[in-house]
Chains A and B, each alone.
Chain A
Amino acid sequence: MGFSGPRRMQRRHARIAAVGSLVVAAVFSMQGHGRATAAESLAASIDRIVAQAAVGPSAEVASDADFVRRIHLDLTGVIPTPERVQAFLADQRSDRRPQLIEELLNSRAFVRHMGLVLDAMLLERTSPPSGLAVPWQAWLRDAVANERPLDELLGDVVAAEGGDPTVEPAAAFLLARSAEPVKMTRAVGRILFGRDLQCAQCHDHPLDDDIRQAEFHGLHAFVKRTSLFTAGKAQQLSEAAIGEVDFTSVFTEESVKAAWPQLPDGPPLIDEPVVEPGDGYTTTPSKSSRGVPSYSRRSALAARLSESDTFRRNLVNRLWAVFFGQGLVHPLDGLGPDNAPSHPQLLAALVDALVEHDYQLRPVVRGIVSSETYQRSIDPPQADAIDTASLETTITTLKEAMTVLTAEREQHAEAAKAAERRRQEAFDRERALHEQLQPSIAARTETRTEFNTAAKAADAADAARDQAAAVAEAVEGALAQARQASELLAGDAEVTGVISSLEKQQKTRSDAQQAADTAASEKASAKTAAEAELTAARAAFDELASQRSPETLAACTKEAEQARRRLVDCEQQLDRISWRLELADDMLRLSGLREADVVAAEQLWDSVVTRLTENLQVARLRPLSSDQFAFSLLQATGGLARLEAAAVAAIEKKPPASVTEAVDAERDVAREKAIEAELLKQAGGVLGSFASLYADPLVEGFQATLNQALYLGNASQVSSELAPQGENLAARLIACAPAEAADQVCLAIFSRPASEAEQADVAAFLERPTEERPQAVAELIWAMLSSTEFRFQH
């Protein structure tokens, strides 16, 4: 493999980009910290990769008005207040965008929004057990606030011991799947590795040879020992120290016994500790207590997450989707060789940035939203902006790249095949050893059982011996005292009788003691013998087990994965080049077609715009998430300000223990957290309604439903916000001069000033008798809230 693979080429580019970023950093005059520079380099990498992949014209950078709305929605989950919009539009500084990004990244709303984003990503609207949702969300917010590395956070959700979930809310991830092994496996596969393995549950996926049954059961083995434990009303997790996954393919009828735990792209865990009878638990599971094993397979999974390239790729793909409405790989659980990312190099660059920043959220987010790619407009370029000459150059370059990659593909395929062969050999060797080990594991189990029995018998014999000795001693003592009494009483007949009876007892008891002594020493030697057998069985196991080589298997697996990755990268790049060539050809056809067939040209242009969007040259018009929509509706109408004030008042009036018990600076932090939790509680009803009505666009695609429209049109949760209350939008509009209404309402709802046409429209609409003004204002606000401009991120 003495050639430069795509990843290596990409790293070289990254170094070049890093030099360029120093200039960029100087231009944007960031805070001067190293991390800002690094973030600029991610933004620069994104723009460079997207520019290299661009075909034909791209959209302009979005206007300040579009940007201020977009960045607020994406970083804080809510549209900006009218004051913020006006301030930003009046800002003349050249670095106003990076300044705003920095401000929002450090805001309380960022913590709230990212907490909700992570919640939706991890639970996908499945419900954790009652009472757990609030601590779980607070736990996620804490993680965001404290910049907890995401691999640690996700490690926690799979490793959570699950005793008291209110103390350890991370358990919600598995509890929301009822700790049911197949559901947990599917959730881990989809959400942590981007792999939907549902079909692989029964058989190798018939359409995608990479979704292997073994992959499903490799993950299944990690969670198979976990189950739901019910303590009173509380649901907890319990984990056993034993329990294996056996499966049979319905197609090949091949069966596997005791599948090894294995990450989708990692080596199998071939040297887990052997559990002997009587061992394996910190807390043994029973009816009254949940099991806590001394070796937890879920902890083993957590510890390995960040070793997996699939895990990292999934993570950045899901983060990307939060800011672009679609993953580089789509759907988000469709990560696999047959489903190329739109920009394979970009996915790799994001992974590099994530690792470089130690899995921290903000640096990656900063890099993404600072890019021009993120800041592009939704307005497509004009069809006549297509420059034939430059397109032809693009086509030539793409064709050259295709020739090079096609040649490389063969080499990659050869290398991948060879590496896979070595991995298979190493795997087969370990499987064979594993089979050989089974009798010695059985022997360990058997001798340990015997030892346990012998040890128990020895203990019992010891106790019997001690008991016999004590009795003998007591009799001895009584006899001595009786003799003493006899001397003093000068041979009293009764006492003499007692002595003779005691002397008989003494004889019997001493015989019994001797017998118990003998029995105890026999049992002790039996125990020693059993121990020796156990030691021998362990030694026999160890000797055979020492022939295993997890390092070799791990190394071969890694090599095979890397070789496969290079091949897949190459193939996916070829796939994308073909896709881009087709796009370029269609653009070239456009000018001719426009004269021949206007309708066909229109159709083709529409398809070109769709593809330019996918190629990141035009921003996607994407629906708001249910949380963004709900919060924005409340912000626009003034309901959010009311809820915030109510939350502050509630905490002032009755500060929770977390606040009163905190000291100094910690008190402010605790207070902020309490207010945030209170605000979410106050907004909970509206958030819940929106969540149940609006699909998650990242999971289910965009959905416009009758129920949503009925809700927005008729629900009291909405109509109550349209009526004047305090200084809300309705009250302000009723009070203001008709000429000012358009600007006020547009700033509040659309986050921009009104156009001239809108001024006229609004004035005309409000031209009704004064007593009808509140009704007219409610209708006006509603018409804007229900418009496409408000519903979509643009």
Chain B
Amino acid sequence: MSADPACRSVEHALSRRRLLGGMGAGALGMCGGLAATPALAEAVKRGSKRVLVVFLHGGVSQLESWDPKPGTDTGGPFRAIPTSVPGTHISELLPHTAKQMHRLSIIRSLDTKNGDHGRGQREMISGRDQPAPLDYPSLGAVVAKTSTPAGFSLPGHILIRGAGTGPGSAAYLGPQFAGVAMNDGKPPEYTARPDGLTGEDDRRRAALRSRFNDRFAGRRRTADTDAYTFSYDQALDLLDQREVFDVTKESVRDHDRYGSHEFGQHCLLARRLLERGVPFVQVNHSNYDTHFENFDFHIEQLGEFDRPFATLVNDLTERGLLEDTLVCVMSEFGRTPRINDRYGRDHWGTSWSIVMGGAGVQSGGIIGRTNADGTAVEDRAVDHGHVFHTILQAIGVDSLGDFHVAGRDHPIADPAKGPIDELLA
């Protein structure tokens, strides 16, 4: 038959247990349909870990950041500086981040075989080969589905952006896991009560709604009806916590430390959300597409990136969050080692770098190696598929498993790939 019997029976057993237990605020999972439910949490392997992605839109230059090649034809004008990891050097454009490198690892051997922005964004954020848009769920949707804690009432997948592509698609996982956008750091849509409706009014009408629901449950009650009623309880909870979206509640000192510019504010907001347990937060930083004047632009862009990012890594560590938060700095691709005649670098997916740290990954490490002038990967070539598996494994998700959605099985990550084992602690 179409429905997976194991799935059905798990769900069913849970529904009964909950009904008999008379739990109040709980909800039911459907077969693969719902995530933020206390009951399903027991049945699906999931931790309470989180993911922070910092996406450098346009394609950051690996040579001006994580894989400098000073003194070579391709290396450009900047020096490499020592970091908090003896023997590891990064570009001098990242002095603050250099002091955090013992908390992060560099993967210097990405070969994603692509130089198209749209495709690169799709592939890095979904972990699948997608020359044409085939619509796989984005990392945020997968993390929200697998790692939203029981009874959690905030959105599980939040995208903070000034510019850059919109919220990640949840594809077959459904709209529950699609990204919720905080455009320019503003609160998500519909999180303010309409004029004239007080919290008290809202709770009164909710109580009446429950009376209608209870009566109808006497006719028929299913996992769907319970999930539906729960979603309204969750919305009420969220409105009570609306301050979580308001970065101005952070201290003046923190605002100073992160900076008043957009990226600084967004990093501070990301910290706020991660502290409240949001499973997936992505911050976009734009724009690194430096076909002209690559070096000037990187001074400017990375100059903006460096301090808030380093501050965020430091704060997450000091607050004990980094051990449960996987941090990844990625782009759609890197930039050509060859410097063009306008002092620019073009699109390059053949040998570039990303950074990962926190949660279950090794810190202070370097994975893979490029050749002397950075034009090819010499060791341990990996791509978006391996990165996707690694991030999920790091937060305790079995990335080799399947999602069961509406009677169908979907591999969680590209079944032809696997994690970068040596990076997993």
CB distance from B189 to the nearest CB of A (A): 7
Q: A339-B1, A706-B234 are in contact. Are A783 and B212 (CB under 8 A)?
A: yes
Q: Which of A603, A623, A710, A788 contacts B213 (CB 8 A)?
A: A788
Are A792 and B174 in touch, CB under 8 angstroms?
no
**Which chain B residues numbered 399 to 421 have a C-beta less than 8 Å away from chain A?**
405-408
Are A710 and B235 in touch, CB under 8 angstroms?
yes
Q: Which of B1, B2, B194 contacts A714 (CB 8 A)?
A: B194
Are A334 and B408 in touch, CB under 8 angstroms?
yes
Are B13 and A716 in touch, CB under 8 angstroms?
no
B286 at the interface (CB under 8 A from A): no
A180 at the interface (CB under 8 A from B): yes
Collect the chain A residues with CB atoms within 8 Å of residue B220's CB: 378-380, 621, 794
Stretch from A509-517, A555-563, A694-702 that touches the partner: A694-702
Q: Can you list, as one digit per residue, whether each of A595-607 has a CB less than 8 Å from chain B (1) or not (0)? A: 0000100110011
Are B235 and A330 in touch, CB under 8 angstroms?
no
Are B202 and A761 in touch, CB under 8 angstroms?
no
Are B201 and A775 in touch, CB under 8 angstroms?
yes
Collect the chain B residues with CB atoms within 8 Å of residue A755's CB: 215
B112 at the interface (CB under 8 A from A): no
Collect the chain A residues with CB atoms within 8 Å of residue B175's CB: 692-695, 700, 703, 705, 707-708
B193 at the interface (CB under 8 A from A): yes
Are B12 and A701 in touch, CB under 8 angstroms?
no
Residue of B189, B197, B220 with most chain A CB atoms under a 10 A cut-off: B220
Q: Can you list, as one digit per residue, whether each of A758-794 has a CB less than 8 Å from chain B (1) or not (0)? A: 1001000100000000010001101110111101101
CB distance from B233 to the nearest CB of A (A): 8
CB distance from B227 to the nearest CB of A (A): 4
Q: How far is the CA of A706 from the CA of B3 in the complex (A)?
A: 26
Are A701 and B33 in touch, CB under 8 angstroms?
yes
Q: Which of A196, A693, A713 contacts B232 (CB 8 A)?
A: A713
Are B1 and A575 in touch, CB under 8 angstroms?
yes
Q: Can you list, as one digit per residue, whether each of B209-228 has a CB less than 8 Å from chain A (1) or not (0)? A: 10111011101101011011
Q: Can you list, as one digit per residue, whether each of B148-189 has a CB less than 8 Å from chain A (1) or not (0)? A: 000001010000000000000000101110001000000011
**Which chain B residues numbered 283 to 342 have a C-beta less than 8 Å away from chain A?**
none
Collect the chain B residues with CB atoms within 8 Å of residue A706's CB: 36, 153, 155, 176, 231, 234-235, 238
Are B190 and A711 in touch, CB under 8 angstroms?
yes
Are B208 and A714 in touch, CB under 8 angstroms?
no
Collect the chain A residues with CB atoms within 8 Å of residue B229's CB: 788
Residue of A610, A693, A713, A755 with most chain B CB atoms under a 10 A cut-off: A713
Q: A779-B205, A787-B209 are in contact. Are A704 and B224 (CB under 8 A)?
A: yes
CB distance from A51 to the nearest CB of B (A): 21
B267 at the interface (CB under 8 A from A): no
Are A787 and B216 in touch, CB under 8 angstroms?
yes
**Which chain B residues numbered 374 to 414 have a C-beta less than 8 Å away from chain A?**
405-408
Q: Can you list, as one digit per residue, whether each of B4-40 has a CB less than 8 Å from chain A (1) or not (0)? A: 0000110011011000100000000011111010000
Are B132 and A182 in touch, CB under 8 angstroms?
yes
A340 at the interface (CB under 8 A from B): yes
Are A602 and B20 in touch, CB under 8 angstroms?
yes
B204 at the interface (CB under 8 A from A): yes
Q: Which of A694, A695, A783 contacts B209 (CB 8 A)?
A: A783
Are B2 and A704 in touch, CB under 8 angstroms?
no
Are A329 and B2 in touch, CB under 8 angstroms?
yes
Q: Which of B194, B197, B227, B406 contacts A331 (CB 8 A)?
A: B406
Q: How far is the CA of A786 from the CA of B216 in the complex (A)?
A: 13
Are B228 and A784 in touch, CB under 8 angstroms?
no
Q: A329-B2, A610-B12, A704-B34 are in contact. Are A621 and B224 (CB under 8 A)?
A: yes
A-B interface pairs (CB < 8 A), number? 183
Closest to B20 in A: A599
Collect the chain A residues with CB atoms within 8 Å of residue B213's CB: 787-789
Q: How far is the CA of A258 from the CA of B211 in the complex (A)?
A: 65
Collect the chain A residues with CB atoms within 8 Å of residue B16's CB: 599, 602-603, 606
Q: Helix, strand, loop or mixed for chain A's interface?
A: helix
Q: A330-B3, A334-B2, A710-B235 are in contact. Are A607 and B12 (CB under 8 A)?
A: yes
**Which chain A residues numbered 148 to 197 have a C-beta less than 8 Å away from chain B?**
178, 180, 182-183, 186, 196
Residue of A340, A575, A780, A782 with most chain B CB atoms under a 10 A cut-off: A782
Collect the chain A residues with CB atoms within 8 Å of residue B209's CB: 782-784, 786-787
A397 at the interface (CB under 8 A from B): no
Q: How far is the CA of A340 from the CA of B202 in the complex (A)?
A: 47
Q: How far is the CA of A602 from the CA of B17 in the complex (A)?
A: 10
B230 at the interface (CB under 8 A from A): yes
Are A701 and B205 in touch, CB under 8 angstroms?
no
Closest to B177 in A: A705
CB distance from B235 to the nearest CB of A (A): 4
B87 at the interface (CB under 8 A from A): no
CB distance from A576 to the nearest CB of B (A): 9
Q: Which of B174, B189, B193 contacts A695 (CB 8 A)?
A: B174
Q: Which of A186, A198, A579, A786 contacts B1 (CB 8 A)?
A: A579
Q: How far is the CA of A308 from the CA of B222 in the complex (A)?
A: 38
Q: How far is the CA of A701 from the CA of B32 in the complex (A)?
A: 9
Collect the chain A residues with CB atoms within 8 Å of residue B1's CB: 339-340, 575, 579
CB distance from A254 to the nearest CB of B (A): 19
Are B176 and A704 in touch, CB under 8 angstroms?
yes
Collect the chain A residues with CB atoms within 8 Å of residue B217's CB: 788
A22 at the interface (CB under 8 A from B): no
**Which chain B residues numbered 130 to 162 have a C-beta less than 8 Å away from chain A?**
132-134, 153, 155
A719 at the interface (CB under 8 A from B): yes
Closest to B207 in A: A783
Q: Which of B8, B30, B194 contacts A716 (CB 8 A)?
A: B194
Q: Which of B13, B172, B235 contacts A713 (CB 8 A)?
A: B235
CB distance from B422 to the nearest CB of A (A): 27
Are B174 and A701 in touch, CB under 8 angstroms?
yes
Q: How far is the CA of A438 from the CA of B397 in the complex (A)?
A: 53
Q: How far is the CA of A186 from the CA of B136 in the complex (A)?
A: 14
CB distance from B335 to the nearest CB of A (A): 28
Q: How far is the CA of A765 from the CA of B207 in the complex (A)?
A: 11
Q: How far is the CA of A610 from the CA of B12 in the complex (A)?
A: 9
CB distance from A610 to the nearest CB of B (A): 7
Q: How far is the CA of A755 from the CA of B211 in the complex (A)?
A: 13
Q: Which of A602, A603, A775, A787 contacts B212 (CB 8 A)?
A: A787
Are A330 and B33 in touch, CB under 8 angstroms?
no
Q: Which of A196, A707, A783, A789 contacts B216 (CB 8 A)?
A: A789
Q: A380-B220, A579-B1, A623-B224 are in contact. Are A183 and B132 (CB under 8 A)?
A: yes
Are B33 and A709 in touch, CB under 8 angstroms?
no
A715 at the interface (CB under 8 A from B): yes
CB distance from A382 to the nearest CB of B (A): 13
Are A714 and B12 in touch, CB under 8 angstroms?
no
Closest to A611 in B: B8
Are A701 and B176 in touch, CB under 8 angstroms?
no
Are A606 and B15 in touch, CB under 8 angstroms?
yes
Q: How far is the CA of A96 from the CA of B95 in the complex (A)?
A: 81
Residue of B2, B31, B197 with most chain A CB atoms under a 10 A cut-off: B2
Q: How far is the CA of A711 from the CA of B197 in the complex (A)?
A: 14
Collect the chain A residues with CB atoms within 8 Å of residue B204's CB: 779
Collect the chain A residues with CB atoms within 8 Å of residue B133's CB: 178, 183
6 A/B residue pairs, CB under 8 Å, sorted by A: A713-B232, A715-B194, A775-B196, A779-B205, A783-B211, A788-B212
B residues whose Cβ falls under 8 Å from a Cβ of A: 1-3, 8-9, 12-13, 15-16, 20, 30-34, 36, 132-134, 153, 155, 172, 174-176, 180, 188-194, 196-197, 201-202, 204-206, 208-209, 211-213, 215-217, 219-220, 222, 224-225, 227-232, 234-235, 238, 405-408
Q: A621-B220, A705-B174 are in contact. List 6 more A-B contacts (CB 8 A).
A: A178-B132, A606-B15, A710-B188, A713-B193, A783-B209, A792-B224
Please list the 5 inter-chain residue pairs (A to B) with the smallest Cβ-Cβ separation, ordered nearest first. A701-B406, A709-B235, A779-B205, A783-B208, A710-B190
A residues whose Cβ falls under 8 Å from a Cβ of B: 178, 180, 182-183, 186, 196, 198, 329-331, 334, 339-340, 378-380, 575, 579, 599, 602-603, 606-607, 610, 621, 623, 692-695, 699-716, 719, 755, 757-758, 761, 765, 775, 779-780, 782-784, 786-789, 791-792, 794
